[in-house]
Structure 1
Amino acid sequence: MTVEDAAVGPSVQVGGEDEELSERLDRELTALNARATGAGKPDEFSIRATDDAAELAGGLTGWVWGTLCGVDALWVREELRHTGWGTRLLRAAEAEAVRRGCTDMLLSSYSFQAPDFYKRLGYRETGRLDGIPGGHQAVYLQKTLDAG
């Protein structure tokens, strides 16, 4: 088989970031998920926290899909950690989720990040995955939201 022959038939190619491929996969999987669940594409949202000097104190990004809200990222500036900013951000996300009709929230954290923080705020651990660099674990958490 020549190099030209290999390029004609089916192939698998490994490369760096491929924005076109990522967008196509997102469209295809979103369509599949919508057909299976009746819920459309997840609706992304963000919450920005600023300090008294109008500097970024922290933020949260997430999504709503049907009655499920997921947190992609929650970050607080290092010198402001343990001062309530994380709680304020997560509570704001929970309130937004309830406003949008969500009944559950899910998120993940690495074992070296903040799983205990989330547990203190009512999240329950639903699973752990070994294999994170440095001997750490991925921790998955869920919370049923109170609409009242």
Structure 2
Amino acid sequence: MTSDHATGPVLTVGERDAELNRRLDEGLTAFNAAATGVAEQGTLSVKVTDEAGELIGGLAAWTWGGLCGIGMLWVREDARKDGWGGRILRAAEEEARRRGCDRVAVSSFTFQAPGFYRRHGYTETGRTLGIPGGHEDVHFFKSLTDG
């Protein structure tokens, strides 16, 4: 979709745009730092590979202002009963502590792993309704200063 005026602003809609994401991140980072006085931020990852170098599982997160936000945690199906999820999560929590974080936030759809996070000391803080198939997005929080 574009503007009716050749010289006016142009609105476009499409697939993921890496350059747009970079610019939005820069803009939001500057806005957030100005609003909170907290500028330091980072990304965090944990990866497990097998002997052949194939991915067993991993985690992607961010850190900012003492908070670690887990975006994704996944373990390959044939390795899910081997305890890798817990080891990956504990490694991320330890790295978050090392970086000065004292809390973690994550969400998991009801068909994914809310029980996993509860077993690892996470407390449910809310739910987002309307996930396809009648599911919900369960939001969790954990203090890294407790025990």
Partner of 1:99: 98
Partner of 2:72: 73
Partner of 1:122: 121
> In 2, are the aligned partners of 1:98 and 1:147 still within 8 Å (CA)?
no
Counterpart amino acid of 1:20? E
- CA distance in 1 between counterparts of 2:27 and 2:111 reads 34
Counterpart amino acid of 1:123? Y
Count of paired positions: 146
Give TM-score, length-normalised by structure 1.
0.88
SS in 1 for 2:6: helix
Superposed displacement of residue 72, structure 1? 1.1
Counterpart amino acid of 2:117? Y
Give TM-score, length-normalised by structure 2.
0.89
SS in 2 for 1:113: coil
Q: Structure 1 residue 143 and structure 2 residue 126: aligned?
A: no
Which sections of structure 2, spanning at least 5 residues, go unmatched?
none
> In 1, are the aligned partners of 2:3 and 2:11 still within 8 Å (CA)?
no
Partner of 1:62: 61
Q: Percent identity?
A: 55
Superposed displacement of residue 25, structure 1? 1.1
Deviations 1:95-130 (A, max 9, x none): 111111111000111110001110111000111111
- CA distance in 1 between counterparts of 2:3 and 2:92 reads 54
Root-mean-square deviation over aligned CA pairs? 2.1
- Spell out the pairing of 1:8-23 with structure 2 (5 A cutoff): 8-23=7-22
Q: Structure 1 residue 35 and structure 2 residue 34: aligned?
A: yes
Partner of 1:133: 132
Deviations 1:21-64 (A, max 9, x none): 22211111110001112222520121111335553211111111
Superposed displacement of residue 134, structure 1? 1.8
Which sections of structure 1, spanning at least 5 residues, go unmatched?
none
SS in 2 for 1:17: coil
Q: 1:147 to 1:52 in 2, by over 3 A?
A: farther
Which shifted more, 59-68 or 36-45? 36-45
Counterpart amino acid of 2:131? I
